[in-house]
Each structure stands twice: as C-alpha cells, then as structure tokens.
Chain A
Amino acid sequence: MKTINNSGDSYIIFELAGTKYAINSQYVKQMEMIENITPVPNAPSFVEGVIISRGQVIPAINLRKRFGFDKIDFDIKTRLIVVNINNRSLGLIVDTARDFIKIDKEQIKEVPETITALSGKYLSGFVTVEKEPILIFNIEEAINLTEIVEKV
C-alpha cells in the first residue's frame, strides 16, 4: 500500500465485511493476532471477552457484531486493534488490517447526508485511494467507552 504523501495524519486501514475503514493511528496502541479470548459473563453480545496484552487485561469487541454484520470465524488474518481512548485500552476485532497510510485533511470528504442519517456518528468522512473508497472511522463516536468499560 502506497502512502498518498508524507504530510498529514497516519491511518491504519482495516476491513470489515468487505468495506475498508481508516482509523487514525494516534488512537492505536498496538496490533495483535487473535490468540486467546476469555469470555466474560453478562457482557454485551458484541463483547467477545477479555485478552491479556502486554500484561494488561483488555476487553475485545467484535466490530461485526457491534455494527450488525454476521459473525465469521477467526483466522490468521483476523486482527485485534488495541486502541487507547481516554487512557483506557480497548481491543477491536476486525476481519483484517494490513496497511498504514498518511491522509491529508483536504482529501477527506464529507459523508453524504443519506448515509450519515444512519451511521453518521461513527464516520467522520471518506477518502478515495486508488479509486477505492475508504471510510474514515470515528472511533470516539463509534465506541461508547464508558458503556463498554462499565460493563466489563
């Protein structure tokens, strides 16, 4: 994957149900393969359980479940994106994540009204890389952390 330019914020591109999303790398702490998930009782359905990453217990959220897609089996391409929001770590399980790119702010376009009406608070815009649209993922909006953390 080629970077558009050297200026701008750096994003990690992940895939979920055939669509590419970009997440700002400043939120991302690290990335891991799915190894052991310990299920948590009374957790919401999109919470797979907890994992231990670098000595820290992190709740793992299945984004497919969170966004209402069908669940699929984990494989070697499945990734856990460990994000840090408000000094709290959270694992997001995505289909795969392989690229790291820089996107200028001018390149980001606003999401059309029809789409925002449905999921606008999770998306902050979209960018076209090599004729392929990539949705910019609004992590702060997408995950109500307090809700999740409290539950876990």
Chain B
Amino acid sequence: MARVKTLNDNILIKEVKKEAENISDTGLNLNKIADHLFEGIVSESESITNLLSGNAELAASLKETVSQTESVANSSEEIISGVNELAASIEQITGNTQNLNSSIAEVASSIDQNTRSVQSISANAQEMATSAVQISTSMNELASSIKGVSNETDNLMSSVNETASSIEEIARSIKGVAENADDLSSASEQTSSSINEMASSIEEVSATTENLTSLIEQVATSIEESSKSSQSIAQNVEVISQASLNASSAANQMENSIKSMTKMTKQAEDIGNRILKDAEEGIGTAQKSIQSFSKVTESMIASSKVITEMGKRSNEIGRIVDAINMIAERTNLLSLNASIEAARAGEAGRGFAVVAEEIRNLADRAAKATSDISDIIRSLQEVAQEAVDSSKEGLKIAEEGNRMAENSLIGLNKILTGVKDTAMIITQVAKATEEQAQASQSTTKAINETTAQVKHISIASNEQVKTAQSIAQNALQMKKIAQQVSIAMAEQGKTAREIIKAAQNSSSLASLVRKATAEQAASASQVTQAVESMRKGAALTSKAIKEQSIAVEQVSKEASRLSTLISHVTRSVSEQASASKQLTVATEDIRKQSDQITKGIVEQSKAMKDINMAIQNITKQIFKITKANKEQALTVDNMLGSLKNAQKITESNSNSVKLLKNNAQDILDKSKTLISIVENVS
C-alpha cells in the first residue's frame, strides 16, 4: 500500500520537477529579456541624457540669442528715444554691463573653484570605488570559503543520514517530501505573487513606455517647430542683414551728398562774398552819381538863372528899341509935316523940302533898323525862353535822375544787407553741413558695426538651425528606440502571461503533492521523530551555513552594487567636472560677449537719429526674432520638461526592470531549490 502511494508520489514529483524545470527555463528567458530590456532602457536613458544636454545647450544658446537680440532691440529703442537719453542710459548700461562682467568673472572664478572641488570629489570617489572593488573581491573570496564549509557540512550530514536506519530514511524522506511540498507550495505562491507583481510592473512599464512614446513624439514635433522657427529666425536675420547693408549704402550716399553740399555751400559763400563786393562797389558808384547829379542840378539852375537874366535884359533892350522906334515914327511924322509945309511955301520951301526928305529917309532907316533889332530881340527872347524851358526840363530830369540814384542807393543797401544775411546763413549752413558730415561718418560707422553684429547673429542662428536639426535627428532615434522598447515590453508581457500560467499549473500540482504528502506525513511522523533530533542538528548547521552563505552573497552583491554605485558616482562626478568646465567656458564666452555688448553699446552711442528708420526696421525684425526665440525657448523648456518626464519614466522603468530581474532571479533560485528537492525526494 505504501509502495503504491510512493509510486504515485513519484509520478507527481516527476511532474512537479518537470514544471519546476519549465519555470526555471521561463525564469531564465525572463532574466534574459529583462537584461535586454535593461540594456535598451540604459541606451534610452543615455540618449535622453544626450538629448537633455543638447537641449540645455540649445536653451542656453537661445537664451543667449534672446538676450543678444533683446539687448540690440533695447539699444535700438533707446537710440530712437533720443540721443541725450541714449548717452546717459548707455553709460548706465555700460556700468551695469561692467558690473555684470565683474560678477560674471566672479561667477567664473567660483565655477573654477567648483570644478576643482568636483575634481577632488571625483578623485576621492575613484579611490572609494577602488576600495569598494577590493571589498567586493574579498567578500567573494569569503563567500567561496563559506561555500566550501557548507559542502563539508553537507558531507557530514550525508554520513549522518547514512548511519540512520532505512525506515528513518523513508520517514525522513517522507517528512522531507512534506516539508519540501510545503516549501514548494509557498514557493509557488511566492512565485505566483512575484510573477503577478512582475506582470503588473510590466504593464506599468508598458503604459509608461506608451506615455514615453507619445511624449517623445510631442518632443519630436516641438523640436521640428523649434527647427522651423530657427530657420525663420535665420531668414529674418538675413532680412536684417540686407536692411543693414541697404542702410549702409544709404548712409554712404548720404555722406557723399553731404560732401557735395559742403562744396556747394563753399561756392555759395564765395559767390556771396563777390556779390557783397559788387554791391559795395555799386553803392560807391551810386553815391558818386548822386553827387554828380546834384552838381548837374546846380549848374542847370545857374544856367537857367543866367538865361532868365538874359531874357530880362533883352526885354529892356526891346523897350529901348520901342523908344527908338517911337522917335523914328515921330521923326517921320515931323518930316512929312515939314514936306507939307514946304510944298505949301512953293518955290521958297524947296530947300526945306529936300532937308525934310533926308530927315524922313533917316527916320525910315532908323525905323527899319529898330524893326530889325526888334525881330532879332524877339527871336532872341524866344530862344531864351526855349533855353529856360529846356533848362527847367533838364532840371526836372536831373531831379528825377537824382531820385532814381537815391532809390538805387536804397536798393543797393538792401541788396548789401540781404547779401550779408545770405552770407551769414551760408556760413551757418556750411557749419551745419560740416557737423552733418561728421555725424554722417559716425552713422556710417555705426551702421557698419550693426551689420557686423547682424552677421554674428546670422552665424549663431545658422548654428542654432544645425543644432536643432541634429536634435530632431536624435529625437527620431529616440522615437525608434522607444518603439523598440514598446515592442520588447509587449513581448515581455506575453512571456509574463505564460509564466503566470505555468506558475498557476505548478501551484495546483504543488497543492496535490501537499495533499499526498500530508497523508504520508501522518504515517511517517512516528518514524521521523526518532531521526529528528539527529537531522535537526545537521539541518540547523546546514541552514545556518546556507543562511551565512546567502548573507555573504548578499554582502558581496551589496559590495558590488556599492562598487557600481561608486563608479556611477565617479562617472557622474567626472561628468559634473566636465560640465563645470563647459560651464566655465560658457561663462567665459558670456563674459566675452558681454564685453562685446559693452563695446557695441559704447559704439552705438555714436549712432544718429538719421538712421532711426533703418534701426526701427531692424528693431521690428529683432522683435520678430525675439518673439520667435522666446517661442523657441518656451518650446525648448517644454521639451526639457517632457525629456525630464521621459527620464523619470525611464528611471522608473529601469527600477521596475531591476525589480523584475530580481524577481526572475528569485524565481530561478527557487525553482533550482525545488528541482534539487524534487531530485532528493525522487
């Protein structure tokens, strides 16, 4: 009866063994998958870290660009708001920037210090790592020696067992089967529960991996956006560059036109001086002509007086002539009366008549002469009147001429004043033009410097575009890895389900074994009691040694973990050190750029209002860039957050996988134990 039962037990045990081997195989597979998964997660984590650092660089360079463009925008706006304010604020800015420079230098020195301390930490950590490795080695040695002790104890136990009787052996075997069945059952349950945990963690991992994938896709999208906005920035910068070049050529043209204006004002000044000289000469001539006009007037008045006097005299002559005429007439009359009387006297008056006739002839001659004189005097008087009239006319004309000359003098004086005013204005214009020329030259200089700065920005933004493109490529790789991880997780899930199935099977088999062995146990308990005390001592020893061995292994494991942790720490510290170095370099760059900005601000203070239009255009473009850069920065920040989330998820994945691995290891261990027990039982 007991034999049959034992046969049945053997069949059951064989099945148990088969299941345990299956579980072991599955555990191994699981372990391998977990390793694979871990590797994938590690590479993912690395690529996320790379991505993070690239993003951080991008963010830093974007912020740099934003600050550069903002400072350019600010300076442009300040230029527009006014040259006076500009100068003051630029000095302030320069002071602030110098303060900034000094604080940046302080930051750089503290970063240097930090780097040095980090490097010393790194050295310490490396030393610690070396000692941890040594500890690990010695712990392994200890473990192997304990294992040797354990083997010897096992030999002791087997000899104890050999000395026991065959009944005791059976009983002990039955008891062992019962115990092992219990163990098996509990191990099965533990396996089942840990498999469940694993499955749930796998599901968690799967879910988080899906989240990660979607996050990575978001990241990829935002990186593409960032790339696009970088390209638009590059285009805007090109536009600015073109506008700066245009402004430069316009400033050159302005300078040339100002130069020609200067020449023209000089010519105008010369012409004005010549006009001034001519006007002064004209005034001299006009004054001379006025003088000669007044002389003419005077002589005309004098000649008019003389002529009038002459007219008067000729009138007097006329009166005398009239008197003479009267005398002649009377003489004629007397001679006629004498002739009449002589005729009346007859022959006696003949001589008298002759005399009378001669007198009459004389009187006629006198009358004729006086009439001639009268005619002459009349014509003389007419001529004198004409002379008086014409001299009056001449006087009038002379007065007219005098007035005209005076008018022309007034006009010339006005011209003189006007020309003097014009000369003054021309001098002012010449002065202003010279100032303008100077201002224009400084404007051209400022515009050329702006163009150079814009070229710097262009180069930086082109680099940004390249960086964004490489990030996009990295994101694509990450996306691929995430998809692979997702696929691996799905496979893992499948395997885990199979494991759960197998574990459930083994669990039910184990409960059957337990039932059978419980019956065996009741009959064997009497047998076992005899050998118990002997077995107990050996088992206690064996157990203690095994526990010791396990503890040692755990210690060894801890030591190796410590070692890896220390190496991690070392690596991260050295990374920190290199990051710190990069930080130092970046700080130095910032300081240089800040110096350049200070210089640029100082040079900008020379810029003029005339290029306000151009600067306003540039300001607009810069605002666009700033906006785009801010958007980009926001996107990059979002990306950073997403990447950090991804990193967290990856870490939790890593942890879960580690847990999984541990569980798998447990399962493996337990199934090994089970197998050995089953072998023993059989």
Contact A31 B336 (CB under 8 A): yes
In terms of DSSP, what is the predominant structure of the interface of chain B? helix
14 additional contacts (CB under 8 A) given A31-B336, A33-B330, A100-B360: A3-B357, A10-B343, A25-B339, A25-B344, A30-B337, A30-B340, A33-B333, A76-B326, A76-B329, A77-B329, A79-B333, A98-B332, A100-B335, A100-B356
User: How extensive is the interface on chain A, given as a class?
Assistant: 10 to 19
In the complex, whether A97 has a CB less than 8 A from a CB of chain B is yes
Contact A100 B339 (CB under 8 A): yes
Residues on A with beta carbons closer than 8 Å to the beta carbon of B344? 25-26
Among B329, B336, B364, the one with the most A-chain Cβ atoms within 10 Å of its Cβ is: B336
Nearest 3 A-B pairs (CB), nearest first?
A100-B339, A10-B343, A76-B329
Cβ-defined partner of A25 (8 Å) among B343, B356, B360: B343
Report the separation of the CA atoms of residues A32 and B332 in the bound assembly, to the nearest whole angstrom.
Answer: 11
| Interface members, chain B 311-348 (any A CB < 8 Å) | 325-326, 329-330, 332-333, 335-337, 339-340, 343-344
Report the separation of the CA atoms of residues A118 and B682 in the bound assembly, to the nearest whole angstrom.
Answer: 217
Contact A33 B329 (CB under 8 A): yes
Report the separation of the CA atoms of residues A97 and B360 in the bound assembly, to the nearest whole angstrom.
Answer: 12
In the complex, whether A134 has a CB less than 8 A from a CB of chain B is no
Q: Given contacts A100-B357, A100-B360, is CB(A28)–CB(B340) below 8 Å?
A: yes
Contact B330 A100 (CB under 8 A): no
Residues on B with beta carbons closer than 8 Å to the beta carbon of A25? 339-340, 343-344
Distance between A106 CB and nearest chain B CB, rounded to angstroms: 20
Among A1, A28, A100, the one with the most B-chain Cβ atoms within 10 Å of its Cβ is: A100
- A1-34, CB under 8 A of B: which get 1 and which 0? 1010000001010000000000001101111110
Distance between B133 CB and nearest chain A CB, rounded to angstroms: 173
Contact B336 A12 (CB under 8 A): yes
Distance between B168 CB and nearest chain A CB, rounded to angstroms: 213
Contact B333 A31 (CB under 8 A): yes
Q: Given contacts A33-B329, A76-B326, A77-B329, is CB(A98)–CB(B336) below 8 Å?
A: yes
Report the separation of the CA atoms of residues A10 and B336 in the bound assembly, to the nearest whole angstrom.
Answer: 11
Distance between A152 CB and nearest chain B CB, rounded to angstroms: 24
User: How extensive is the interface on chain B, given as a class?
Assistant: 10 to 19
Contact B325 A100 (CB under 8 A): no
Report the separation of the CA atoms of residues A62 and B364 in the bound assembly, to the nearest whole angstrom.
Answer: 25
Report the separation of the CA atoms of residues A10 and B339 in the bound assembly, to the nearest whole angstrom.
Answer: 9
Contact B329 A97 (CB under 8 A): no
A sample of 12 inter-chain contacts (CB < 8 A) reads A25-B343, A29-B340, A30-B337, A30-B340, A31-B333, A33-B329, A76-B325, A76-B326, A76-B329, A99-B360, A100-B340, A100-B360
- Considering the complex, give the chain A residue whose CB is closest to the CB of B338: A100
Report the separation of the CA atoms of residues A117 and B344 in the bound assembly, to the nearest whole angstrom.
Answer: 34
Report the separation of the CA atoms of residues A77 and B344 in the bound assembly, to the nearest whole angstrom.
Answer: 25
Cβ-defined partner of A97 (8 Å) among B325, B336, B343: B336
Residues on B with beta carbons closer than 8 Å to the beta carbon of A3? 357
Contact A100 B336 (CB under 8 A): yes
Residues on A with beta carbons closer than 8 Å to the beta carbon of B329? 33, 76-77
Report the separation of the CA atoms of residues A97 and B340 in the bound assembly, to the nearest whole angstrom.
Answer: 13
Residues on A with beta carbons closer than 8 Å to the beta carbon of B336? 12, 31, 97-98, 100
Residues on B with beta carbons closer than 8 Å to the beta carbon of A76? 325-326, 329
Distance between A90 CB and nearest chain B CB, rounded to angstroms: 16
Residues on A with beta carbons closer than 8 Å to the beta carbon of B356? 100
Residues on B with beta carbons closer than 8 Å to the beta carbon of A1? 360, 364
Distance between A129 CB and nearest chain B CB, rounded to angstroms: 15
Contact A12 B340 (CB under 8 A): yes
| Interface members, chain A 70-107 (any B CB < 8 Å) | 76-77, 79, 97-100
Report the separation of the CA atoms of residues A33 and B344 in the bound assembly, to the nearest whole angstrom.
Answer: 21
- A26-50, CB under 8 A of B: which get 1 and which 0? 1011111100000000000000000
Contact A98 B340 (CB under 8 A): no
Residues on A with beta carbons closer than 8 Å to the beta carbon of B330? 33
Contact B337 A31 (CB under 8 A): yes
Distance between B663 CB and nearest chain A CB, rounded to angstroms: 175
Distance between B220 CB and nearest chain A CB, rounded to angstroms: 143
- Considering the complex, give the chain A residue whose CB is closest to the CB of B329: A76
- Considering the complex, give the chain B residue whose CB is closest to the CB of A102: B343
Report the separation of the CA atoms of residues A63 and B90 in the bound assembly, to the nearest whole angstrom.
Answer: 129
- Considering the complex, give the chain A residue whose CB is closest to the CB of B343: A10
Contact A31 B325 (CB under 8 A): no
Report the separation of the CA atoms of residues A30 and B335 in the bound assembly, to the nearest whole angstrom.
Answer: 11
Q: Given contacts A12-B336, A76-B325, is CB(A98)–CB(B364) below 8 Å?
A: yes
Residues on B with beta carbons closer than 8 Å to the beta carbon of A97? 336
Report the separation of the CA atoms of residues A29 and B339 in the bound assembly, to the nearest whole angstrom.
Answer: 11
Report the separation of the CA atoms of residues A79 and B364 in the bound assembly, to the nearest whole angstrom.
Answer: 15
Distance between A91 CB and nearest chain B CB, rounded to angstroms: 14
- A99-123, CB under 8 A of B: which get 1 and which 0? 1100000000000000000000000
| Interface members, chain B 70-126 (any A CB < 8 Å) | none
Report the separation of the CA atoms of residues A25 and B343 in the bound assembly, to the nearest whole angstrom.
Answer: 8
Distance between B237 CB and nearest chain A CB, rounded to angstroms: 122
Residues on A with beta carbons closer than 8 Å to the beta carbon of B325? 76
Report the separation of the CA atoms of residues A66 and B356 in the bound assembly, to the nearest whole angstrom.
Answer: 32
Distance between B196 CB and nearest chain A CB, rounded to angstroms: 175
- Considering the complex, give the chain A residue whose CB is closest to the CB of B334: A31
Q: Given contacts A98-B364, A100-B357, is CB(A31)–CB(B326) below 8 Å?
A: no
Report the separation of the CA atoms of residues A49 and B333 in the bound assembly, to the nearest whole angstrom.
Answer: 22
Report the separation of the CA atoms of residues A100 and B344 in the bound assembly, to the nearest whole angstrom.
Answer: 13
Report the separation of the CA atoms of residues A3 and B356 in the bound assembly, to the nearest whole angstrom.
Answer: 13
Residues on B with beta carbons closer than 8 Å to the beta carbon of A10? 339, 343
Among B332, B335, B340, the one with the most A-chain Cβ atoms within 10 Å of its Cβ is: B340
Contact B364 A31 (CB under 8 A): no
Report the separation of the CA atoms of residues A12 and B339 in the bound assembly, to the nearest whole angstrom.
Answer: 10
Report the separation of the CA atoms of residues A25 and B337 in the bound assembly, to the nearest whole angstrom.
Answer: 10
Residues on B with beta carbons closer than 8 Å to the beta carbon of A32? 333
| Interface members, chain B 351-367 (any A CB < 8 Å) | 356-357, 360, 364
- Considering the complex, give the chain A residue whose CB is closest to the CB of B332: A98
Report the separation of the CA atoms of residues A12 and B326 in the bound assembly, to the nearest whole angstrom.
Answer: 20
Residues on B with beta carbons closer than 8 Å to the beta carbon of A31? 333, 336-337, 340
Residues on B with beta carbons closer than 8 Å to the beta carbon of A99? 360
Report the separation of the CA atoms of residues A18 and B325 in the bound assembly, to the nearest whole angstrom.
Answer: 21
Report the separation of the CA atoms of residues A30 and B329 in the bound assembly, to the nearest whole angstrom.
Answer: 15
Report the separation of the CA atoms of residues A57 and B343 in the bound assembly, to the nearest whole angstrom.
Answer: 25
Distance between B380 CB and nearest chain A CB, rounded to angstroms: 22
Report the separation of the CA atoms of residues A77 and B178 in the bound assembly, to the nearest whole angstrom.
Answer: 207
Report the separation of the CA atoms of residues A77 and B332 in the bound assembly, to the nearest whole angstrom.
Answer: 10
Residues on B with beta carbons closer than 8 Å to the beta carbon of A98? 332, 336, 360, 364
Report the separation of the CA atoms of residues A36 and B360 in the bound assembly, to the nearest whole angstrom.
Answer: 25
Residues on B with beta carbons closer than 8 Å to the beta carbon of A28? 340
Report the separation of the CA atoms of residues A83 and B184 in the bound assembly, to the nearest whole angstrom.
Answer: 214
Report the separation of the CA atoms of residues A33 and B335 in the bound assembly, to the nearest whole angstrom.
Answer: 13
Report the separation of the CA atoms of residues A107 and B102 in the bound assembly, to the nearest whole angstrom.
Answer: 159
Distance between A105 CB and nearest chain B CB, rounded to angstroms: 16
Distance between B360 CB and nearest chain A CB, rounded to angstroms: 7
Distance between B367 CB and nearest chain A CB, rounded to angstroms: 8
Residues on B with beta carbons closer than 8 Å to the beta carbon of A33? 329-330, 333
Distance between B344 CB and nearest chain A CB, rounded to angstroms: 8
| Interface members, chain B 4-45 (any A CB < 8 Å) | none
Distance between B200 CB and nearest chain A CB, rounded to angstroms: 169
- Considering the complex, give the chain A residue whose CB is closest to the CB of B330: A33
- Considering the complex, give the chain B residue whose CB is closest to the CB of A13: B336
Residues on B with beta carbons closer than 8 Å to the beta carbon of A100? 335-336, 339-340, 343, 356-357, 360
Distance between B343 CB and nearest chain A CB, rounded to angstroms: 5
Distance between A98 CB and nearest chain B CB, rounded to angstroms: 6
